[in-house]
Amino acid sequence: MSKIAWNPGTLLAPVPPALVTCGSMQAPNVLTVAWTGIVNSDPAMTYISVRPCRHSYPLIKQSGQFAVNLTTAALVKAADFCGVRSGKTVDKFKECGLTPIPASNISAPILKECPLALECVVKESFLLGSHEMFLAEIVAVDVEEDLIDENGKLHLSAAGLLAYAHGEYFELGKRMGSFGYSVRKKKKFTSHKKK
């Protein structure tokens, strides 16, 4: 298969179109961020990259806190709207039917409608050019009770999560495997015949 070399671009995909909440319960804001991911396991750390011209930028810069709320297919319109409208001029919570609720460990709210939220505290930030990257420790994870079974296992695959790839939104679909399945030993089945 031949390839054509393009100029550098932001074509890593898919990425989560996360609804990031910031501010406070008294003055909350929400914006959509696709530039996010996990950067470390222990301690659990993530990042978001935000343009300094965004309304949320000074809220995150001053408080040093935010929450990454995972979006579902049911929230695709909200995810798009919150990425193209500014909290300076629009009440995005009202327009999108989103409900800010108190987080357990940070002053920024989380979203009631999202199945999972990562509560984050900024450790460092880096102005990289068009965006500033906020490197943050995940200090708590808030999970929708319905996604946890009686054994305490999380079934996030049942949430209908949303993905973003090259300007388009997709609902995650068919399960193809699980972590480590390619090297997992197959179980041997033995028959128990009666003598």
pLDDT in tens, 73-111: 999 999 999 999 999 999 999 999 999 999 999 999 999
Q: For 85-103, give the secondary structure using H, E and C.
A: CCCCCCCHHHHHCCCEECC
Q: What digits encode the pLDDT tens for the residues 1-25?
A: 899 999 998 888 999 999 999 999 9
CA-nearest of 68, 153, 78, 64 to 116 is 68
Spatial separation of the C-alpha atoms in residues 101 and 90, rounded to whole Å: 19
Banded pLDDT at 141 (limits 50, 70, 90): very high
Q: 3 in a domain, yes or no?
A: no
Q: Which two tokens stand for residue 166?
A: 């090259």
Q: Which two tokens stand for residue 79?
A: 């995810």
| Mean residue pLDDT across the chain | 94
Q: Among 81-85, 152-156, 169-173, 181-185, which stretch is predicted with the lowest mean pLDDT?
A: 181-185
Question: What is this structure's pTM?
Answer: 0.91
CA-nearest of 153, 149, 115, 112 to 25 is 112
Higher pLDDT, 29 or 187: 29
Banded pLDDT at 46 (limits 50, 70, 90): very high
**Domain total in the chain:** 1
In the predicted structure, residue 192 carries a pLDDT above the cut 80:
no
Q: 100 in a domain, yes or no?
A: yes
How much is the pLDDT for 193? 59
Spatial separation of the C-alpha atoms in residues 176 and 154, rounded to whole Å: 18
Which CATH number belongs to the domain containing residue 125 in this structure?
A: 2.30.110.10
Q: 116 in a domain, yes or no?
A: yes
Q: What is the torsional sign of CA 167, 171, 175, 178? A: positive
Q: Among 66-80, 107-121, 178-192, which stretch is predicted with the lowest mean pLDDT?
A: 178-192
| Cβ atoms within 10 Å, residue 24 | 16
Spatial separation of the C-alpha atoms in residues 122 and 119, rounded to whole Å: 10
Q: 184 in a domain, yes or no?
A: no
Contact 121, 139 (CB under 8 A): yes
Q: 1 in a domain, yes or no?
A: no
Beta-sheet pairing, 100-101 with 132-143: unpaired
